[in-house]
Amino acid sequence: MHTEHQDHNLQPDLHKKSEKEVSESVHAKNPLKLSAYTTALIKAWEEGYEKIPISTTRISVSQTVSFLAFLYEKMRNAVEFREEHLIRRAAIERIIKRRMLLNENGRDIAEVLIKELLWARYYENNTLGEEKIADVQTIIDKYFFIRNEISAGRSTHEQENIANFILEVLAAEIEENLSSNLRLEAFTNFVYQLIRPYIAPFNGDTLSRDIQVYIAVEKTFAHSDEPLIRYHLLKLMIPEITTLNWKSADKILSKIYEAYYDIEKYLKSPTFDKIRNYIKKQIPPFLVLQDVFNQNKNSISEILSSDDELKNKVDMSCRKRYEETKDRLRRMGVRAFIYIILTKVIFAFLLEVPYDLYFLEKISYFPIIINVLFPPILMSGILLSVSVPGDENTRRIFNLIKGFITQNPQDPSITKNAVRFDKKPKAKGAIFALLFTLFYLFTYLLSFGSIIYILTRLNFNPISQGIFIFFVALVTFFAFRVISITQEYLVVEKESPLTPLFDLFFLPIIRLGQWLSGEILTKFNVLIFVFDFIIEMPLKAIVEVIDEWIKFVKIKKEEII
């Protein structure tokens, strides 16, 4: 990879102009000449507002039971750390999975699915028309037919993978049918089209490059999770998928399996992390530009065409975002900590207290107090260390946005200097990489060895030490995630002199937290099982019965009147 191009921003003019020339161009009186891509984005934005369908009959649920379901969903979502805009799709998937326990092929579950979404207030009451029941059932029937057909004759393991894939894209299409977001889709495509030329094809393979860039844009700009990305890729590979029903889906069965195989391969590509990290650095200006679009829906074309107007709106948007950063840090920090407390404290006490009583014949309160108090103190300290971007960051963002909306990404100078991610490291680089890897492994011994030594000196038993490391790793990882999300508007990075020392000690701990969160807790989260199968099934059944009873009473009351 050409390291000299790694930190380049995506605006070619800024590489050619001096800072003085760029600054003078900001105050130019001539209007900005928008590129064809920007003009297309404005058109898609103006046409893509969500149209509320006119329906003579709306689906209504009882507000009495709605509060109970809403409260449950809030509690349920607290034990599974997920970004807010992804919660509804996950809830649809969870409801369908639960309904499948008694109705394996999903027949006639659309109505109860929509009612559950209304009960939980994922959609406002009386906003969905009854025609949506047929639409959603058509989607369910289509994907269950596809699942049954392409799973037949395959191994049990592959059948499970296919079933999970189908369930994820099914939930995504249902959410899109109930509430599409065409503007976000248009903006994501705009970002993808502008970034793509700055990355060279992989050994001449343009398609692989394009898909990897698209996935990275989805993750870094739209903050999509893998189920949502799978659905969007499926639509790109088989555009007609959303227009078919189960009767006409047989003609694309072979393409569905090929798409499934390719999507899983691209999601696990060894080069993806490098591409994502590169693209992540280019995203802040696009996020601010999206804010400008959202805040000026009726005059966006005039604003983008005026240098001074654009500068003013970018400045307003940046200052607003900087102000919101601290609040967002606090909210996400609280959510992350609640997630950790709800899913881990009970587990910790179930291990630590019995160990003390059995082996020590007394409870050691000091380790328990430390294990409870230290993680939130550590998270608070990390989050309070985050600084808010300043005016220099805003100026850089404005200059970059100007380039994005006026430059043609097909400019030959862009592709000529495109970053390569498929180049093998030189021999010297490989030797250094080996040495650095060995030193990186040594940092694990340094970090965890220091912690274990200190805890041993404080008379922590092995169980207490394991719980302490467990909590600290998770808290550090979640704090790192929260900071990375709230720093998404930062283009001028300011590194503290102590940052290398911090990284040396905490990076192994963050890695352990990532592994615990992704590989262990997601798969073996006892509280998720308790909520989904012990609490949710009977609770939702009770809610359904109460809702039907209230409707029955209402009808009888109307008969009297």
pLDDT, tens only, 8-34: 444 433 333 444 444 444 444 457 889
Q: What is the mean pLDDT of the chain?
A: 81
Distances (CA, A) of 428 to 424, 431, 434: 12, 5, 10
Distances (CA, A) of 369 to 101, 363, 379: 42, 11, 16
| Weakest mean pLDDT among 158-167, 255-264, 273-282, 551-560 | 551-560
Question: Does the predicted TM-score (pTM) go above 0.85?
Answer: no
2 contacts: CB under 8 Å, gap ≥ 6: 419, 420, 423
Q: Is the pLDDT of residue 470 over 50?
A: yes
**Confidence (pLDDT) at 15:** 37
188 contacts: CB under 8 Å, gap ≥ 6: 217, 218, 221, 222
| Weakest mean pLDDT among 142-156, 429-443, 454-468 | 429-443
pLDDT, tens only, 224-276: 999 999 999 999 999 999 999 999 998 899 899 999 999 999 999 888 888 99
pLDDT, tens only, 490-505: 886 666 666 667 777 7
Cα angle at 175 between 171 and 179, to 5 degrees? 175
Q: Is the pLDDT of residue 369 over 90?
A: no
Between CA 293 and CA 252 the distance in angstroms is 38
Query: Hey, what are 257's tokens?
Result: 């399996």
The confidence band for 336, taking pLDDT boundaries of 50, 70 and 90, is low
**Confidence (pLDDT) at 424:** 66
**Confidence (pLDDT) at 362:** 75
Q: Is the pLDDT of residue 386 over 60?
A: yes
Count CA atoms within 13 Å of residue 498 on its CB side.
Answer: 4
Averaged pLDDT for residues 196-213: 90
Residue 61's closest CA among 104, 120, 7, 106? 120
pLDDT, tens only, 513-532: 888 776 555 555 555 666 66
**Confidence (pLDDT) at 494:** 63
Residue 551's closest CA among 57, 110, 65? 65
pLDDT, tens only, 391-428: 889 999 999 999 999 988 888 878 778 888 876 656 55
- Kindly state the percentage of the chain with pLDDT values over 70: 82
Cβ-in-10-Å burial (0-12, 13-18, 19+) of 553 comes to exposed
Q: Is 55 helix (H, G, I), strand (E, B) or coil?
A: coil
The confidence band for 440, taking pLDDT boundaries of 50, 70 and 90, is confident
Residue 119's closest CA among 63, 183, 157? 63
Q: Number of H helices and number of E strands within the chain?
A: 24, 0
Q: Is the pLDDT of residue 168 over 80?
A: yes
Q: Is the pLDDT of residue 448 over 80?
A: yes
**Confidence (pLDDT) at 342:** 62
Averaged pLDDT for residues 103-113: 90
Averaged pLDDT for residues 113-126: 91
Q: Is the pLDDT of residue 102 over 90?
A: no
Between CA 187 and CA 38 the distance in angstroms is 10
Q: Is the pLDDT of residue 131 over 50?
A: yes
Q: Is the pLDDT of residue 508 over 90?
A: no
**Confidence (pLDDT) at 540:** 76
Q: Is the pLDDT of residue 52 over 60?
A: no
109 contacts: CB under 8 Å, gap ≥ 6: 96, 99, 103, 137, 140
443 contacts: CB under 8 Å, gap ≥ 6: 504, 505, 507, 508
342 contacts: CB under 8 Å, gap ≥ 6: 78, 79, 527
The confidence band for 4, taking pLDDT boundaries of 50, 70 and 90, is very low
Q: Is the pLDDT of residue 485 over 90?
A: no
Dihedral sign of CA atoms 224, 225, 228, 232 in order: positive
Averaged pLDDT for residues 76-94: 83
